[in-house]
A and B are shown apart, each in its own frame.
Chain A
Amino acid sequence: MTTTAPEKSTSWRGVASEDQDELPTGVSVRLRARSRRLLGDLLRPYRKKIALLVLIIVISNAAGLSIPFLVSVGIDEGIPPITAGTGASILVTVVGVILAAAVVQAVARQAFLRLMGAIGQNILLELRRRVFDHFQRLSLSFHENYTSGRVISRLTSDIEAIAELVQSGFDALVKALLTLFGTAVLLLVLDVHLGLVALVPLPLLLLFTKWFQRQSAIVYRRTRETVALVIVHFVESMIGIRAVQAFRRESRNQEIFAQLNDDYRGANARSMYLGATFMTGVKLIGNMTIGGVLLYGGWLALQGEVQIGVLAAFLLYLRQFYEPMQEISQFYNTLQSAGAALEKLSGVLEEEPSVPEPREPVALPKGRARGKVRFDGVEFAYVKEMPILPRLDLTIPAGQSVALVGATGAGKTTLAKLISRFYDPTEGRVLLDGVDLRTLDELTLRTSVVMVTQENFLFSGTVADNIRFGKPEATDRQVREAAKAIGAHEFISGLPDGYETEVGKRGGRMSAGQRQLVAFARAFLADPAVLILDEATSSLDVPSERLVQRALRTILAERTALIIAHRLSTVEIADRVLVMERGKVVEDGPPAQLIAASGRFAGLHRAWLESLSS
Chain B
Amino acid sequence: MPPDTNEPNRPLLSSNSLWRMKSYLRPYVARLIVIWLTALVGIAVVIAFPLIIEQVIDGPVANGDAAGLLPLGLLAVGVGATEALLILFRRYIQVKPVLGLETSLRDDLYEHLQRLPMGFHGDWQSGQLLSRATTDLSTIRRFLGFGMLFLVMNVLQVVAVTALLLNKYWPLGLLVLASVVPIVWTSLRFEKRYIKISRQVQDEQGDLATLVEESAIGIRTIKAFGRRHHVYDQYDDAARKVYGSSMDKVRLSAKFFSFLEIIPNITLALVVLLGALAVGDGALTLGALVAFTTLMLQLVWPVASLGYLLAMAQEAMTSADRLMEVMDTVPAIEGGTGTIDEPRGHLRFEGVGFRFADSDRPVLHNVWLEVRPGETVAVVGATGAGKTTLTALVPRLIDPTSGRVTIDGHDVRDLDLKTLRSVVATAFEEPTLFSMSVRENLMLGRPDATEDELAEAIRTAQAGFVHDLPWGLDTRIGEQGLSLSGGQRQRLALARAVLSKPRVLVLDDTLSALDAETEALVEEALRHVLRDATGIVVAHRASTVLLADKVALLRDGTITHIGQHRELLAQVPEYRELLAQDADFDDASEGALR
A290 touches B225 (CB 8 A): no
A95 touches B272 (CB 8 A): yes
Q: Is A569 part of the contact surface with B, judged by Cβ < 8 Å?
A: yes
| CB contact between B130 and one of A167, A231, A302 (< 8 Å): that residue | A231
Given contacts A235-B126, A248-B422, A511-B388, is CB(A312)–CB(B64) below 8 Å?
no
Number of B interface residues at 8 Å Cβ cutoff, please give it.
197
Given contacts A113-B250, A242-B428, A442-B226, is CB(A280)–CB(B91) below 8 Å?
yes
Residue on B nearest A409 in the bound complex, by CB = B465
Q: How far is the CB of A236 from chain B (nearest CB, A)?
A: 6
Q: Enumerate chain B residues within 8 angstroms of A460, measured Cβ to Cβ.
A: 125, 210, 214
Given contacts A408-B515, A453-B486, A454-B513, is CB(A2)–CB(B217) below 8 Å?
no
B516 touches A243 (CB 8 A): no
Most B CB contacts (10 A, CB to CB) among A137, A276, A592 go to: A276
Given contacts A75-B289, A280-B88, is CB(A82)–CB(B277) below 8 Å?
yes
Q: How far is the CB of A125 from chain B (nearest CB, A)?
A: 5
Q: Enumerate chain A residues within 8 angstroms of B361, measured Cβ to Cβ.
A: 496
Q: Enumerate chain B residues within 8 angstroms of A555, measured Cβ to Cβ.
A: none
Q: Enumerate chain A residues within 8 angstroms of B106, measured Cβ to Cβ.
A: 230, 261
Q: Is A584 part of the contact surface with B, judged by Cβ < 8 Å?
A: no
Q: Mark A114-137, 1 if CB is under 8 A from B, else 0.
A: 100110111011001100110111
Q: How far is the CB of B425 from chain A (nearest CB, A)?
A: 7
B426 touches A246 (CB 8 A): yes
Given contacts A540-B383, A605-B592, is CB(A151)–CB(B516) below 8 Å?
no
A82 to B273, CA, bound (A): 11
From B10-18, B108-116, B364-372, give the one contacting chain A.
B108-116
Q: Is A491 part of the contact surface with B, judged by Cβ < 8 Å?
A: yes
Q: Is A425 part of the contact surface with B, judged by Cβ < 8 Å?
A: no
B77 touches A288 (CB 8 A): yes
B395 touches A121 (CB 8 A): no
Q: Enumerate chain A residues within 8 angstroms of B469, measured Cβ to Cβ.
A: 1
Interface majority SS on B: helix, strand, loop or mixed? helix
Residue on B nearest A413 in the bound complex, by CB = B485
Interface majority SS on A: helix, strand, loop or mixed? helix
Given contacts A75-B286, A257-B110, is CB(A272)–CB(B76) below 8 Å?
no
A74 touches B85 (CB 8 A): no
Q: Enumerate chain A residues within 8 angstroms of B435, measured Cβ to Cβ.
A: 2, 147, 149, 232, 236
From A214-222, A393-401, A512-520, give the one contacting chain B.
A512-520
Q: How far is the CB of B438 from chain A (nearest CB, A)?
A: 10
B81 touches A113 (CB 8 A): no
Q: Is B20 part of the contact surface with A, judged by Cβ < 8 Å?
A: no
Q: Is B26 part of the contact surface with A, judged by Cβ < 8 Å?
A: no
Task: List which B345-391 residues lie within 8 A (CB) of chain A.
Answer: 356, 359, 361, 381-384, 387-388
B496 touches A315 (CB 8 A): no
A506 to B432, CA, bound (A): 13
Residue on B nearest A327 in the bound complex, by CB = B301
Q: Enumerate chain A residues within 8 angstroms of B528, measured Cβ to Cβ.
A: none
| CB contact between A505 and one of B122, B135, B223 (< 8 Å): that residue | B122
Given contacts A1-B470, A239-B126, A246-B395, is CB(A106)–CB(B258) below 8 Å?
yes
Q: How far is the CB of A360 from chain B (nearest CB, A)?
A: 19
Q: Is B564 part of the contact surface with A, judged by Cβ < 8 Å?
A: no
Task: List which A228-273 residues lie within 8 A (CB) of chain B.
Answer: 230-232, 234-250, 252-254, 257-258, 261-262, 264-265, 268-269, 272-273
B122 touches A569 (CB 8 A): no
Q: Enumerate chain A residues within 8 angstroms of B592, measured Cβ to Cβ.
A: 591-592, 595-596, 605
Q: How far is the CB of B183 from chain A (nearest CB, A)?
A: 13
Given contacts A75-B276, A246-B426, A316-B297, is CB(A121)–CB(B224) below 8 Å?
no
Given A443-B229, A505-B121; 8 other pairs, CB 8 A cutoff: A4-B474, A83-B280, A113-B257, A129-B239, A235-B130, A511-B388, A512-B512, A526-B225
The 10 closest A-B pairs by CB, nearest first: A446-B226, A287-B80, A117-B250, A82-B280, A295-B73, A276-B91, A291-B77, A102-B265, A113-B254, A513-B383
> What are 7 inter-chain pairs, A to B, with CB distance below 8 A?
A3-B476, A105-B262, A106-B259, A152-B216, A298-B60, A454-B486, A541-B540
